[in-house]
Amino acid sequence: MAEKQRVSVDWTNRSLSDSLTIKDYLQEKFSQREIDNFYKLLEAFEKIISSFPTLYPKSVKNKKAHRAVLSKQLSVFYSISKDQITVIAVLDNRMGYSKWP
């Protein structure tokens, strides 16, 4: 069976900023273990979508973006082009719809 070609994953400034904000919150309120788990979730997500870009459904609010629910607390929004996946935002699921891209 031939291996499926992977698509490159690009992170926007907003998605990187969102990730750092969540990391800072975890660092303030929780332990290093939760920070490590957060980064493991993001790494696993990137690996999965690079092989299966359409795995996650399109967002309810924005049909051009897909929403990947990685945990009860974490969602990642991304868009797909022919040769690239762009991570738009990383959000805490407890935020209101107004924060969604």
DSSP string, 26-50: HHHHS-HHHHHHHHHHHHHHHHHHH
The pLDDT confidence band at residue 96, using thresholds 50, 70 and 90, is low
Average pLDDT estimate for 89-93: 86
Residue 80 has a pLDDT of 94
Run of H or E including 24 = helix 13-29
* pLDDT exceeds 80 at position 98: no
Percent of the chain with pLDDT over 70: 88
Q: What is the mean pLDDT of the chain?
A: 87
* pLDDT exceeds 50 at position 2: no
Strand-strand pairing, 8-11 and 66-69? unpaired
Residue 1 has a pLDDT of 43
Sorted by where each begins, the domain ranges of the chain are 8-95
CATH of 8-95, one of 1.20.1580.10, 3.30.2310.20, 3.90.1150.10, 3.30.160.160: 3.30.2310.20
26 near 40, Cβ under 8 Å?
no
CB atoms under 10 Å from CB of 60, counted, come to: 9
If one compares 36 and 60, the residue with the highest pLDDT of the two is 36
* pLDDT exceeds 60 at position 23: yes
